[in-house]
Structure 1
Amino acid sequence: MRRVRGLEYHDWLLLPLVVVCFGGAIWMSVIAVDSYRAEHGGLAGDVTIEDCVFADTDDGPEWTCSGPFVSADGAVRIDAVTLHDRFRAPLEDGTTVAGTVSGPSADTLYTDDQLWWWLAGVAVAFLGIGIHFLRPILRGGTDVVTPPTVDPAHAAVADQSRSLPAEWDDVPPPSAREVTAAGAPTAAGPKRANLVIWKVLAGWLLLGSTIAGTLWYLAEWERQQDAPLTASALGTVTATRLGADDRIEVAYHDDAGDEWRVRWRPRDADSYREGGQVPLRYDPTRPDEVMPEYPEFFEFEPPQRIVFAHIALLPGFVLAWAWTWRLGRWTLGTLRRGRPAQASVRVAELHWGTEPTSYWLELRSEDRTWYQRVVWDSRLVHWLHRNPWSAERLPSSVELRRCPGFRRMYLVDVAGVGRLWPASTARSRPPINYELSPVELSSLGFTEPASRHLKMLLALAALAGGGWLLAGPPGAAYLLALIGGYQLWGGGAPWRGFYAVRP
């Protein structure tokens, strides 16, 4: 339980990927075992094609066909089995396909004897990917990266430069009385308003509005797809219980008198008999584009665009709900009375990263120590730059206001800075996937290279382009708002994060 509570934001993002990988491994393993049983000890026979279902996949249009199966000796008959193979064009009704099934209760016909080899390989690949991402989550880090080879002469010069003392290291740290007398802020000193909360609220509102805009765009797109279906007709059911999906075949005549046939899968197959009537709508310019007048009585596969869009919207829904819950806790926390405590500022670096990612506070209250991440604010950076001793070597006096909830979360009031808003719950142990270290003021003047900014901009542009293709301008805005929302959720440090102060 402690390890679960120690999981951080980045770990929770990796867990869905791990679940998908292990789920894919299990799924492929089940199919591989069934294919192996069909090849070794299964029943050989023929399937008479009765129905083919269209699927618009990433590789183009494909068809999955099914029909009744009869074993070679005629002893076993299965009402409907599905061919594992997919076809670029539907097979004609009545076509016979030879293959094997795993047993009398099977529902899949296999025509490739070596299929289980490929499925087992894919299962192993999924399993390996899942273990690769699960291992750092369980142990709180990743493999140690071997540093590159460095020229000994350059290494000696670097060691010599690092050994040079910084300007504040030559001066002994003052006592707590001297720091207070020099004007270092304490909990009783003047407070400043901290307006970083508006940045969080803006990100939360932007995420919610882009989610709503994306849903509106998808609904509008679906309405545009149905708009051309202006003509109506009365179709006649000509066949029922077709293939493994129990679909029905409906024949109708367009305005020109030509006959067209379409197949649908009803939710209740017993409700439609041969000779029954089905009202429908179709496009006069393209009579093959047809839909039932009451589509709620039939099962239709949603368009691939809609499926991908809803998958992309899922993390946005989760994040918006989580932000709503956190903002509610913040609001109730502001109504509570503060209590004194001591705090030290720490920077966090991922074990597998190369630079700081967020600010943490080490809070000491009532002989207990808590670690909590806070939302990034430039005022904290400037305050650290002005008060190096109080920030580095002496804990600062603060006030804590506990937010209601099952897990601890504190609003931290720091005189001279304002209110620091929590970006995580408070835990009794340091985070397992971060290394917390004191703030190094010498790094506040570091400037990131322009190439990194360009790479980030290109990545965001590619992400926005994918969202535009998926759900238009609202989709592009949603993906960018989602990235910004996750950034705020994890502390909100910008690209230059802790390097906003120039020496």
Structure 2
Amino acid sequence: MVVIGSVVALAALIALGYRLGTDPRVEQREGDILVALAPGTFLVLSWLVRLVQWWDAARAPARRVMVTAHLAQSPQPGSAGRVTAAAGAVSAAGGIDAGPKGYSVWLTVSGRDGGFLHQRVVWEPWLRELTRPRQATVRHGSGVSVVDVAGYGRLWPASLTLRRRPYGVRLIPFRKAQRLPKENNLSHGRLACLLLLFVAPGLAGAVTQGAWALLGWWVAYVVASLVATGAWFGIIPPGVLPEAARRGRAPTTS
């Protein structure tokens, strides 16, 4: 629902943004609007391709497997790259916090043939309860795998299915990751800083030109883009690993 809602909202905002950009009452060049719309348009098209992959995989035959949830982290505390960029860990001092923080969940899928697959998945609240291997069924098609975990529900892929461990990250078993105090993902404060960073250009334009309607559109466009991007990379929402889980006690049911 989050994925479909964000993609539909983003598509609607792209259409509205183009109309605002061509409205003579708005003092904004059409070229600037088109440049701003390009990333969102690419994101919507990418999601449409992935949704087709989901549909194809969900129709494939199922086979029984065991799945183990892992938290993806940067490989070392000082590493930079897509992990810290995806997590958007903006420190209070305005720099980048490159410490190892979990930002997505990967499933290790093991079948009866002894083979292993690795699949990043879109976050579901009950994922934090998968602190041990679980029985599941997997459906594979169009390069991705849809996983149905017994007693919980369906997990949708947020990457291509890999027969090797993913590069650039280290995978920590979820039970161990929940016991470590610094393994949580984004905080609400850091997420707010990231939002303000993207909203600031629109705010400056609204103040100088009085284009308050354009500012409202820009804020909604940024929020929808962040949600769709987070779902694309399977980023864990802030605050989902409670203190009880990080201290090793059983997490509460969502």
CA contact (8 A) 2:187 2:239 kept: no
CA deviations 1:413-439 (Å, max 9, x no partner) are: 111111111111111111111111212
| Residue of 215, 224, 234 corresponding to 1:491 | 234
CA deviations 1:200-236 (Å, max 9, x no partner) are: 111211211221221121122xx337xxxxxxxxxxx
Aligned length: 214
1:48-447 equivalent positions in 2, closer than 5 A: 198-220=1-23, 223-224=24-25, 305-351=29-75, 352=79, 353=98, 354-365=100-111, 366-381=113-128, 383-384=129-130, 388=131, 391=132, 395-403=133-141, 405=142, 408-441=143-176, 443=178, 446=181
CA contact (8 A) 2:188 2:239 kept: no
CA contact (8 A) 2:21 2:28 kept: no
CA deviations 1:110-136 (Å, max 9, x no partner) are: xxxxxxxxxxxxxxxxxxxxxxxxxxx
Percent of pairs identical after alignment? 26
Question: What is the CA distance between 1:355 and its match in structure 2?
Answer: 0.8
Could you say what secondary structure the match of 1:356 adopts?
Answer: coil
Distance, in Å, in 1 between the alignment partners of 2:156 and 2:227 is 17
Amino acid at match of 1:200: V
Distance change >3 Å, CA 210–CA 397, structure 1 → 2: same
Residue in 1 that maps onto 2:191: 456
Distance, in Å, in 1 between the alignment partners of 2:115 and 2:44 is 32
Gaps of 5+ in 2: 80-97, 207-213, 250-254
Using the size of structure 1 for normalisation, the TM-score is 0.39
Structure whose CA Rg is larger: 1
Could you say what secondary structure the match of 2:71 adopts?
Answer: strand
CA contact (8 A) 1:372 1:424 kept: yes
Distance change >3 Å, CA 427–CA 448, structure 1 → 2: closer
CA contact (8 A) 1:444 1:499 kept: no
Distance, in Å, in 2 between the alignment partners of 1:373 and 1:357 is 11
Distance, in Å, in 1 between the alignment partners of 2:178 and 2:134 is 21
Residue in 2 that maps onto 1:22: none
Amino acid at match of 2:238: W
Using the size of structure 2 for normalisation, the TM-score is 0.74
CA contact (8 A) 1:358 1:490 kept: yes
Q: Which has the higher contact order (CA 8 A, sep 6+)?
A: 2
Distance, in Å, in 1 between the alignment partners of 2:71 and 2:183 is 17
Structure with the higher fraction of residues in strand conformation: 1
Distance, in Å, in 2 between the alignment partners of 1:500 and 1:332 is 39
Distance, in Å, in 1 between the alignment partners of 2:46 and 2:183 is 32
Gaps of 5+ in 1: 1-197, 226-302
